Amino acid sequence: MREYLLTLCITAAVTYLLTGPVRKFAIVAGAMPEIRARDVHREPTPRLGGIAMFFGLCAGLLTADHLTNLSQLFERSNEPRALLSGAALIWLIGVLDDKFEIDALIKLGGQMIAAGVMVMQGLTILWLPVPGVGTVALTQWQGTLLTVALVVITINAVNFVDGLDGLAAGMVCIASAAFFMYAYRIWYSYGIEAAAPATLFAAILMGMCLGFLPHNMHPARIFMGDSGSMLIGLVLAAGAISITGQVDPDSLFGGSERSTVHQMVPVYIPLVMPLTIIAIPAADLILAIVRRTWRGQSPFAADRGHLHHRLLEIGHSHSRAVLIMYFWSALIGFGALTYSVHSASMWIVLSVVILSALGLVLLLLPRFTPRAPRWAEAVVPPRYRRRAAPATAPDASAPADAESVDDHRAPVAAGVSGVNGASAVGSRARVVDRSRPR
């Protein structure tokens, strides 16, 4: 665990430190497109944040290669090199798109080629746990087609959800955190070495997102662009492919017979878990394709009908819309993770139902602004603090210069005690005259 955490921290540090210089480079290179109709930001913002994220990925893999235990992973498996090859290709395509706005079909072809590069180096799905049948071995063509399809779907799902400041990076970070816990449990608890690459990919992906988020939270100083969204989508898909298609579910139980539902559930979690971590982006992707096709448009035509756009339209603020998407991602991902550990516990199902109801309440109350208690006002944003009591309004019958009278009340009273108001005014005038330069 310490080596995984060290890899995560180094990846986050490199990504964070490089994002500032990358922002300056993006401004100089002119990677600041004009505001489009579907955009929600109001000022041109530089892109190319994926450059820092890619170098963070390289730093994480290089660090893991020099650690005592993780270095053995590079000797036994070719998956880290396969990931780096596919990531370099998809990152290059994303950089070109951030600068020159290449065609959507060209990007789709590049995504398929990047997935094919990973398949050629061994990162592919070999078998699938099918409910009611068991573990089914796939042919080479079946595995290749399924791997390419999963990579393309995941990349575009993450790319479609990247519409608000910090949304894509935060959602992917939450999903990779749940996935890391699941993969680490399989690797550590069951002693299955085939789960080590997926665990490493999830740790590095968390570091990439955590290092970029401080620069990307609202109001964002830089966007990750397609060079970043497609990159983290590919890394997320690579981890899912590794643990779904490389880890034999029967090895979790030593080939024992599973007759009860409780015994069968963990077998299908490797198939379900990759779907849960991209549930929200995948739902947004499917809805976008159906919506655009129904209107007679291209599935790749951009619009303002995504889930985060709808949250803004019904009255949610930018930050609240992002937090709601975070909430649902965490609920689905960590709910599936918890259920995979204790599938027979009804408390888990009950907790998920209660949290879902809470999420619906937050979703349907866009204008509700919670107020923090007095003792917590120092650590919450100003919009959540209780408003201070308004100051007492001055008496309408008081003279217009009441404030100035109060300012000079002491010196006037000292010299003209018992005189009328006119003398007081005169004294005040003399005081003012003495202050004038001669």
Say how many C-beta atoms besides its own lie within 10 A of residue 141's C-beta: 8
The pLDDT of 279-298, averaged and rounded, is 78
Q: CA 353 to CA 27: how far, in whole Å?
A: 47
Lowest mean per-residue pLDDT among 196-205, 357-366, 384-393: 384-393
Backbone angles phi, psi at 134, to 5 degrees: 110, -155
Q: What letter represents residue 185's amino acid?
A: R
126-163 tens-digit pLDDT: 877 666 666 778 888 988 999 999 899 889 888 878 87
Query: Structural domain boundaries of the chain?
Result: 2-36+43-253+264-278
Tokens of 283: 């739902």
More confident residue, 399 or 112: 112
Q: CA 346 to CA 353: how far, in whole Å?
A: 11
Q: Quick one: the chain helix, strand, coil %, rounded to 5?
A: 70, 0, 30
pTM score: 0.74
Helix, strand, or coil here: 233? helix
DSSP code, position 195: G
Q: Round the CA-based radius of gyration of the chain to a whole number and report it.
A: 30
159-201 tens-digit pLDDT: 878 878 888 899 899 988 988 988 888 887 777 787 889 899 9
Tokens of 411: 């010196």
Three-state secondary structure readout of 53-80: HHHHHHHHHHHHHCCCCCHHHHHHCCHH
Q: CA 173 to CA 166: how far, in whole Å?
A: 10
Q: What letter represents residue 386's amino acid?
A: R
Lowest mean per-residue pLDDT among 60-64, 79-83, 371-375: 371-375
